[in-house]
Chains A and B, each alone.
Chain A
Amino acid sequence: MTGKTLYDKLWDSHLVKQRDDGTALIYIDRQLIHEVTSPQAFEGLRMAGRRPWRAEANFATPDHNIPTTREERRLGLEGIRDPISRIQVTTLDDNCKEFGIFELDMNDERQGIVHVVGPEQGATLPGMTIVCGDSHTSTHGALGALAHGIGTSEVEHVMATQCLLQTKMRNMLIRVDGRLNPGVTAKDIVLAIIGEIGTAGGTGYTIEFGGEAIRSLSVEGRMTVCNMAIEAGARAGLIAVDETTLAYIKGRPFAPKGDMWEKAAAAWRGLVSDADAHFDRVVVIDAADIIPQVTWGTSPEMVAPITGEIPDPEKELDPSRRDNMRQALKYMGLQPGTRITDIKLDCIFIGSCTNSRIEDLRAAAAVVKGRKVAANIEMALVVPGSGLVKKQAEAEGLDKIFIDAGLEWREPGCSMCLAMNADQLGAGKHCASTSNRNFEGRQGFGGRTHLVSPAMAAAAAIHGHFVDVRDILFTTDRLV
């Protein structure tokens, strides 16, 4: 009998019932909730006269709609100018009260982007099954949990039954061997992976990320990698538990304490794939080959190293891909053959559930320290992922570093990642962004997004165009 993968173990330990046709009922330990994908789910519960199966398993915080300027946040709900956005946020407050669900509301210091707050609070733990009405739920896989995005109907289903109907995915291992070169980060790893396997490369799979380069990432770095598993088509991305994971979790508010901690940690240490586990597909990447990445097109797979240039669609043999590339370059206003370092920028966004944690902010601050944002940059925002990240950054003086350099220091929220609030990228403007998606219009109608790591976004802020962050002298602070 062959061994089990981590995915197999998480699946098997949560299997309530296997149906004859291959679908299964999987028990869900934690449902994260935000204001955009929950209203209709709560409404459905209410209309059917149902209560949550287990209210304590749910954990809510608003993040998509809320403003990030201090002036507006000081006003609380009144500061949300768009009445429709405001209704969404108050609806979440009302629903959580009515159904007895724990919420960090917009005035709570601990509020933030749900995928930053979950791990930060210890609400998402190893060995859990975790869902949320948001595709970047895959982030929590970094803790050795089975975590993925679901639609609103499934949100309602989990609330009502504590279970999800699922078909088991196949197992994929992406092994990143060796060590990263200085200046190369977790974000570059995952962009390079997506460049290699494509945005549908992981469809139908749960991806486990392994190998020395993954192991040597901090938990925050691991979250960056798992966050973008969905951009490779995989609903869930996982990283096995080790002492780094346990050290991250210990002592967090919702994490077990004392004797319970010892028992839990012992159980969690088993959350690794067995040595003889079978993966349906294995992809091996040499970390030393990874160079800081920049997306140039309208899909995360349209990515190039900073040392490269924009490819020529006419050289692409597949007609569908060729059309996609032509369309992307037209939208982005870019020419084939242009060096990545020649792409001029108008805007910088450092934030999102991909890269807005304390290590990301430290990495960006180390690059901008003592320098000034270039004259051609019209807008440069730094949006910390949560109130606690913001507080810690301020204790370390990072906010001052950003402000002195000419960047804006904002309040926590999803902000310009998807521009549901007022933080929007103007039409035709190019933005160096630490977020996760560069689809047409993602950051604003007609906006042109380039996905990069925090250090690369910071370097671009200073120079006004993309530069190889490895060429910039940085302090002894090791970049994530």
Chain B
Amino acid sequence: MRKFTVQSGLVMPLDRANVDTDFIIPKQFLKSIKRSGFGVNLFDEHRYMDKGEPGRDNSGRPLNPDFVMNKPRYKGASVLLARENFGCGSSREHAPWALDDYGFRVIIAPSYADIFFNNCFKNGILPIVIDRKIVDEIFGEVEANTGYSLLVDLEKQVIVKPDGNSIPFAVDSFRKYCLLHGLDDIGLTLQDAGDIKAFESRWKTAAPWYFGVQA
């Protein structure tokens, strides 16, 4: 997994609450058996005028000029600014895969759906929770200033605005550690293999009906 230390980038505002994971990556793209290549279909249903299909060439597709992502001023954005309950609905991890593949490294929102929030950390994306009023202010600033970008320092846990002001944010310390070091969850957990085996042995004695069962 890629390390996340300091990220500085152009901000794209997605001014809509309750953006669900199907909005982020529609269900037809879940047919892929790969983990990559979803970026070109990020926000597919709102980004393009026609319906996208997996395996199709997207270069000739008609773009929706009204969708924020297609406005030239937001090209190359790596920070996504969003509203409440971002990432609700289905558990598809394809949603952060699509965001990551497109180039988003940071999301800033007042709240997230639980499964999506977890999935971001597994994929080197930092989802930051910021007070609703501050998010609202930033929306205003982004819209008023072309080229608005933010710097996110994970170690210091701050977002630095163009005017130099800092917004502190909270983040779970274990997740922070894994992001900073690009650490894979599985390798870390297997360091506790002894504890897992010990638990399993006790559990098998206490609840044997869960073990060794075949239909």
Where the two chains meet, the residues of A that have a C-beta atom closer than 8 Å to any C-beta of B are 14, 16-17, 19, 21-23, 25, 27, 29-30, 36-37, 39-40, 43, 48, 50, 53-54, 56, 64-65, 82, 84-85, 87-88, 91, 102, 121, 125, 127-128, 133-135, 149-154, 156-157, 160-163, 165, 167, 199-200, 203-204, 233, 235, 253-254, 256, 260-261, 263-264, 267, 299, 320, 323-324, 327, 418-420, 437, 439-442, 445
Known: A203-B114, A253-B215, A324-B17. A128 touches B210 (CB 8 A): yes
B29 to chain A, nearest CB (A): 10
Known: A153-B93, A233-B113. A320 touches B83 (CB 8 A): yes
Contact of A233 with B88 in the complex, beta carbons under 8 Å: yes
A128 to chain B, nearest CB (A): 6
9-residue interface stretch from B64-72, B74-82, B118-126, B160-168: B118-126
CB closest chain-B residue, reference A45: B186
Contact of B212 with A56 in the complex, beta carbons under 8 Å: yes
A104 to chain B, nearest CB (A): 9
Where the two chains meet, the residues of B that have a C-beta atom closer than 8 Å to any C-beta of A are 16-18, 20, 22-23, 26-28, 30-35, 45, 51, 54-55, 83-85, 88-94, 96, 111, 113-115, 118-119, 122-123, 172-174, 185-186, 189-190, 192-193, 195-196, 199-200, 203, 207-215
Question: Bound complex: CA of A352 vs CA of B45, how far in Å?
Answer: 24
Contact of B91 with A135 in the complex, beta carbons under 8 Å: yes
Contact of B173 with A21 in the complex, beta carbons under 8 Å: yes
Question: Bound complex: CA of A308 vs CA of B160, how far in Å?
Answer: 49
Contact of A420 with B199 in the complex, beta carbons under 8 Å: no
Contact of B20 with A439 in the complex, beta carbons under 8 Å: yes
**CB-defined contacts of B119 to chain A, threshold 8 Å:** 151, 153
**CB-defined contacts of B203 to chain A, threshold 8 Å:** 14, 27
Known: A56-B213, A125-B209, A153-B185. A27 touches B196 (CB 8 A): yes
> What are 5 sample pairs from A and B whose C-beta atoms fall under 8 A apart?
A17-B192, A25-B196, A50-B186, A152-B93, A256-B209
A20 to chain B, nearest CB (A): 8
Point out the residue from B93, B192, B199, B208 that lies within 8 Å of A151, measured CB to CB.
Answer: B93
A151 to chain B, nearest CB (A): 4
Contact of A151 with B23 in the complex, beta carbons under 8 Å: no
Contact of A16 with B174 in the complex, beta carbons under 8 Å: no
CB closest chain-A residue, reference B110: A320
**CB-defined contacts of B209 to chain A, threshold 8 Å:** 125, 256, 260-261, 263-264
Question: Bound complex: CA of A43 vs CA of B36, how far in Å?
Answer: 13
Max chain A CB contacts within 10 Å: which of B16, B18, B32?
B18
Contact of B189 with A161 in the complex, beta carbons under 8 Å: yes
